Structure 1
Amino acid sequence: MTLLFGVTIGILAIIAILLISALPLYFAVGLLGGKATIFKVPMVNLIVGVIGAALDIPIIGFILLLFIYKKVFKMSWLSAFLAWILQFVVAGALLFLASFLSLGIAVL
């Protein structure tokens, strides 16, 4: 019973981490008018991560990343590039917000 519980918790934790890590890209693509769903974005993150890890030349990985964003989210090349930049801005804003929430909880 405890092994099954531990495995279930582990799987749920991995799914939660994938969904949380996909939020910046989801918001960035949504702001730029792309066709993003909360289920499509984590899959794209996984695909881009595997391709990026398999390639030795970073510029080819970056071009493939933009191509995947362009095709999957139905965006232009410029929008794909802006989504790539904007996801870091959104991630920074979410981290900034989370730090203020944690400071607020610590004060209580």
Structure 2
Amino acid sequence: MRTVLLLVISNIFMTFAWYAHLRNLRTRHWLIAVLVSWSIAFFEYLVQVPANRIGYEKFSLAQLKIVQEVITLVVFIPFAVWYMGTPLKLDYLWAGCCLAGAVFFIFR
């Protein structure tokens, strides 16, 4: 459970590092966006590296990666809808179904 919680926190940081500049810094030079994103990503790595080390004690590498992908989608959808203002689409549901299949196969 600690791994999942740390990966959720890590993903929140990383989602903001990757995409928030599209909303907040779109009028600034791209180099400013890079520096701000790297600054945010630094904190993401402070959480992500321990999360993966803890998780690797209980999960295989493939299982750890699939858990990460599921968390990425769970974090990304609310970010995209509420923070970035994109419409909620059925495509997110289909992507979730594909990831559920990945979870099934990697953990069976």
> What's the TM-score, normalizing by structure 1?
0.33
Higher relative contact order (CA 8 A, sep 6+): 2
Specify the structure having the higher radius of gyration (Cα): 1
